Structure 1
Amino acid sequence: MAMYIHVPEEALAVPKIDVTVDDNHYRAGALKLIKELRPNWKPSEVKIKFFTDGITNKLLGCYVGAVMQDVVLVRIYGNKTELLVDRDNEVKSFRVLQAHRCAPALYCTFNNGLCYEFLQGTALEPEHISSPPVCRLIARQLAKYHTIHAHNGWVPQSDLWLKMGKYFALVPKYLKDPERHTRLTTEVPSLHCLREELLWLQQHLSHLDSPVVLCHNDLLCKNIIYNKEPGNVKFIDYEYAGYNYQAYDIGNHFNEFAGINEVDYSHYPQRAFQLLWLRSYLEAYKEHKGQASDVTDREVELLYVQVNKFALASHFFWGLWALIQAKFSTIDFDFLGYAVLRFNQYFKMKPEVAVLTLP
């Protein structure tokens, strides 16, 4: 059994540059990287755009000229995110996906981040991912991910429970700021309660027989780039990519219909929409696996039940993640409030999906 990603021998090597970029005074470090990656660019002409969408890392775009044509993205890892993300695994996932034409070019890694190609297109918003043409593209692209073999013949195994166990051990018992500590102790479920729920989740979901596949694991709107001219979507940011349950990846994506900055779970897709989405996904999944692409109603219903149950695990995972970020992150975001939202939705959704039965 294997949890790790196997990088094929033909995958492009990724250079490591010995540079540390200060996330507050980033220009000097970014220019050192650009000197290696784009030696013909004049340092005085390099423009830097700071992207503000991410809540894990800091992201810069470096380019020359009037338009952002050839852009080197510089991603600086967030404070203590090595507690949450296996950076070696991230690079392996990046290289595997690049080898299968599912990812942009990875130019290099550096001491506290990596540089990669900028994909032309639009980072989607919640209202976009539910539109019929776009959601079908997303379903089919995710199916392509899920059929990539990166396990070198081993039987792939999910690391979801191992990762959640590690996260649980890192959940803060106190926060320095008195007001935030009060919120932690009054609004967030107790550690005893969380431990009981984690055990229930593992027991309840492990018996659903969802296939273990190569997953993105963080398919929120901003990680989906839509390019209108060729009519395709590409996924970016592979920090959490790895072997996981097929239904988790889809359920996690459905949860992201609610957005991040102004979370609204009334946007969680209704059953009719899900059934159409899941049918498009299964058609593409079978095509990529070389199977007959006829999809039965029973297959769609089975995946529907699995996905909505695993959506619970997604809420729980990101709730734990947000509690850890509340302690360590230097990014201006209410991680504690986000954790409360995720756990509240978990407990609201649990009775509804716990009674779903497999066909």
Structure 2
Amino acid sequence: MQQDPASSQPPHRHRIDVMGERIISQVAEWLEHERTKRQNRKSQRAHGSRRKHHKDDAEGSSSQETARTRRFSLDSQSSEVSLDRLQKIIDDSMSSLGLNAIPHHSPRSGKKSQRRRSIALHRIASSDTEFHDGDVLVPGCDGVLDNSKTLSYTGGNAADGEVASTSKHREEKERKAWLTFKSEIIRLTHTLRLKGWRRVPLDSGDAISVERLSGALTNAVYVVTPPEDMMGKAEGGKKNPAKLLLRVYGPQAEHIIDRENELSVLRRLARKKIGPRLLGTFANGRFEQFLNAITLTAEDLRDSDTSKQIAKRIRELHDGIELLEDEKDHGPAVLKNWDHWLSRVSQAISFLDAKMLAGDLGPVMNAADAWKQRGLVCGTDWPTFKAMFDRYRQYVFDRYGGSKVVRENLVFCHNDTQYGNILRIRPDDKKSPLMQPNYEHKQLVVIDFEYAAANVRGYEFANHFSEWCYDYHDEAASFACNVNKYPTPEEQDRLIKSYVNHRPEHRHPGASTPVLTPLATPTMGPSTPSPGPSIPGSSSSIVEFMLDARVPPGGWKEEEQRREEQVEEQVKSLIEETRLWRPICSAMWVAWGIMQAKIPGFDPEETPKGAEGDQPGAVMPLEEEEEGDPHGFDYLGYAQERAMFFWGDCVTSGLIKLEDLPEAVRNNIKLAQR
């Protein structure tokens, strides 16, 4: 006799199905209740608006009503999106349980049961990077946070109840802008249900502190501190709000960063507990866990102990996150970025070249116009620069022996390990594991994974070593590249040897020790395919041997010597690979600087595109040109400095002779003699 499939299920499986139906019925009941309540509120607001319109003929009433509508808009729109998402979850859950209709549920004990439903819902909507079936659940909404009037680094402190007597109209205007900004932040925390922050009243913008951090170039980053009277110990089991890290995306970044991919990467990192927790997202930014940490400085990179710790953290990232096959198929992300940005970069730089070559520059009004005095941004015209990049790109692949070999060497890289993206946690407890010598390197936390993707190890090191040349807090020239600060051979050897010798505790199945064969010798004519680098597998160390293992021929001393020779060979190969990818790294950041720059008179949306998008963009009338930001980062200056570094490496590689370059490039070229 055939057994009934339902009866063959184990008892615990039956209980799970019953619980699933019960949860669905509870959530569905709540959802219907919320939709009805929201509809009633909308009707009441509309009715109240009509009554007020007839009652008050004063001009101020219209502005007050507009302000109130604006206040409610963020919550209502975001809540509607949240309810729609919840409806989809219910529909999917019903389908997985084989249900065609929402099951009926009768609470056992009235109000008590209703309270339990409310608690369960808040737990589901938690913002603390929770997991469901191995995936990370992070709340999100479509709200937009406008920080355009609060880009200064001051003005976000909690009010002390007084306005300075010396305060003038400008200071008062800025104070009001900050107050509006902080009020909208609180509203967003309520919408996203960030833990503890729903206890902060919506009208308490004056009571919270918002401090902008310097050093971030793509985004505006803030530390959001709750009211002081809520910083103490929580009472009655309620959790007080914690400090938040708020990230508002830059206006130009939408053309550079794939935000969906970035959030996907952050979820993968969360599974491995790498980096700060992601707490909530909105249309143009996100909230992250605030860590009690300090940002490294430019000088910290040169500290020997810190440098070794950075190497270990890089190794843990490379070995901790396994690349997807699709990511490997797309090849190095640095080249993917270049290809993706190429059309827009070509339009912008061609526009600048045309103005420079025509002498149609206009007056130099502030620091943002300094590019007008420095000549062509890439040192040469754009077609010449692009042609050299294409030639060097082919040169790199020839050195490996083809794209298949490059694919084998790809790992998950951060790709932006500048000092501002590395934090050092300050443990509150002296007995913290982070204070132990073996775990001290874990005090370092790498943040900002906007550019994290597949690249070769050499690119990661090329990018990191190039960042030694920058001090983004230099008031005179934060964009300048000082190649004299590029790490010495000894400093490079120290970091990469620490990387090779480190054995992460948690490695993905495909991780292996980077044993690289020497790259092919460069040729100036047509390149011959070379064996290129390869990763045959993990090397062994005598500390990994069993105590009863046989003594190797020649004894342990000879084995240890072979191990040291192997490490030295790996270090040498990685340093060679680093130098190979340095010009590619520079070129990508040249493109990045051009993409980020606000160029007066250039409108990419009206640019006629040719075969490669190299035609100049549409030019606005001179009187309508906007001024650049005099206090902002000099992106075009940064791009030009990186271009000079690129040309220097091309000369060193033998792909072009110094005397064949324009005089302006010869006079400003950057050669890292290391």
Q: Same fold (TM over 0.5)?
A: yes
Task: Give the match's secondary structure for 1:70.
Answer: coil
Please state how far the C-alpha of 1:282 moved relative to its aligned partner. 1.3
CA contact (8 A) 2:182 2:208 kept: no
Please state how far the C-alpha of 1:202 moved relative to its aligned partner. 1.6
Q: After alignment, is 266-275 or 167-176 more displaced?
A: 167-176
Q: Which of 382, 385, 394 is the aligned partner of 1:203?
A: 394
Q: Which of 276, 280, 301 is the aligned partner of 2:498?
A: 280
2:376 aligned with 1:186, yes or no? yes
Q: Which of 22, 25, 31 is the aligned partner of 2:186?
A: 31
Q: Which residue of 1 aligns with 2:277?
A: 105
CA contact (8 A) 1:103 1:234 kept: yes
CA contact (8 A) 1:223 1:237 kept: yes
Matched residues in 1 for 2:320 and 2:504: separation? 12
Per-residue deviation, residues 1-48 of structure 1 (Å, max 9, x unmatched): xxxxxx995132121122100022532331222223121234423221
CA contact (8 A) 1:184 1:336 kept: no
Q: Which of 586, 590, 597 is the aligned partner of 1:319?
A: 590
Q: Which residue of 1 aligns with 2:302?
A: 130
**Closer/same/farther in 2, CA of residues 246 and 32 from structure 1, 3 Å limit:** same
CA contact (8 A) 2:377 2:636 kept: no
CA contact (8 A) 1:174 1:184 kept: no
2:140 aligned with 1:16, yes or no? yes
Matched residues in 1 for 2:392 and 2:135: separation? 37
Matched residues in 2 for 1:134 and 1:344: separation? 29
Matches within 5 A, 1:233-244: 233-244=444-455
Matched residues in 1 for 2:227 and 2:585: separation? 42
Please state how far the C-alpha of 1:246 moved relative to its aligned partner. 1.6
Matches within 5 A, 1:1-359: 10-25=134-149, 26-35=181-190, 36-37=193-194, 38-43=197-202, 44=204, 45-66=207-228, 70-152=242-324, 156=328, 157-171=331-345, 172=348, 173-174=350-351, 178=362, 179=364, 180=369, 182=372, 186-188=376-378, 189-206=380-397, 207-208=399-400, 209=405, 211-229=409-427, 230=434, 231=440, 232-259=443-470, 260=472, 261=478, 263-284=481-502, 288=507, 289=511, 291=538, 292=540, 294=563, 295-327=566-598, 332-353=632-653
Matched residues in 2 for 1:317 and 1:154: separation? 22
Matched residues in 1 for 2:595 and 2:137: separation? 33
Identity of aligned residues (%): 22
Please state how far the C-alpha of 1:158 moved relative to its aligned partner. 2.2
Paired AA for residue 252 in structure 2: K
**Closer/same/farther in 2, CA of residues 283 and 9 from structure 1, 3 Å limit:** farther
Please state how far the C-alpha of 1:270 moved relative to its aligned partner. 0.9
Task: Give the match's secondary structure for 2:135.
Answer: coil
Q: What is the RMSD of the two structures over their aligned residues, measured on CA atoms?
A: 2.8
Matched residues in 2 for 1:59 and 1:203: separation? 38
Matched residues in 2 for 1:8 and 1:351: separation? 53
Per-residue deviation, residues 156-185 of structure 1 (Å, max 9, x unmatched): 232322211222221102259745474586
Please state how far the C-alpha of 1:344 moved relative to its aligned partner. 0.7
Per-residue deviation, residues 279-305 of structure 1 (Å, max 9, x unmatched): 111122687447335552111111000
Paired AA for residue 125 in structure 1: T
Q: After alignment, is 286-295 or 222-231 more displaced?
A: 286-295
**Closer/same/farther in 2, CA of residues 246 and 56 from structure 1, 3 Å limit:** same
Per-residue deviation, residues 114-163 of structure 1 (Å, max 9, x unmatched): 11111221111111012111111100100111113443566723232221
**Closer/same/farther in 2, CA of residues 8 and 336 from structure 1, 3 Å limit:** farther
Provide the TM-score with structure 2 as the length reference: 0.48
CA contact (8 A) 2:292 2:426 kept: no
Report the structure number with the largest CA radius of gyration: 2
Task: Give the match's secondary structure for 2:217.
Answer: coil
Task: Give the match's secondary structure for 1:239.
Answer: coil
Paired AA for residue 213 in structure 1: V
Q: Gaps (5+ residues) in structure 2? A: 1-130, 150-180, 233-240, 356-360, 428-433, 435-439, 473-477, 513-537, 542-562, 600-627, 656-674
CA contact (8 A) 2:327 2:454 kept: no
Task: Give the match's secondary structure for 1:258.
Answer: coil
Q: After alignment, is 50-59 or 279-288 more displaced?
A: 279-288
Paired AA for residue 340 in structure 2: K
Q: After alignment, is 138-147 or 321-330 more displaced?
A: 321-330
Matched residues in 2 for 1:111 and 1:187: separation? 33
Q: Which has the higher strand share?
A: 1
Please state how far the C-alpha of 1:247 moved relative to its aligned partner. 1.0
Q: Gaps (5+ residues) in structure 1? A: 1-6
Matched residues in 2 for 1:221 and 1:72: separation? 21
Q: Which residue of 2 aligns with 1:3?
A: none
Matched residues in 2 for 1:163 and 1:103: separation? 23
Please state how far the C-alpha of 1:223 moved relative to its aligned partner. 0.1
Tell me the matched-pair count.
349
Paired AA for residue 147 in structure 1: D
**Closer/same/farther in 2, CA of residues 146 and 183 from structure 1, 3 Å limit:** farther
Task: Give the match's secondary structure for 2:584.
Answer: helix
CA contact (8 A) 2:481 2:642 kept: no
CA contact (8 A) 1:159 1:244 kept: yes
Provide the TM-score with structure 1 as the length reference: 0.88
CA contact (8 A) 1:77 1:112 kept: yes
Please state how far the C-alpha of 1:110 moved relative to its aligned partner. 0.3
Q: Which has the higher contact order (CA 8 A, sep 6+)?
A: 1
Per-residue deviation, residues 221-257 of structure 1 (Å, max 9, x unmatched): 0000012542321100011111112211111011001
**Closer/same/farther in 2, CA of residues 354 and 240 from structure 1, 3 Å limit:** farther
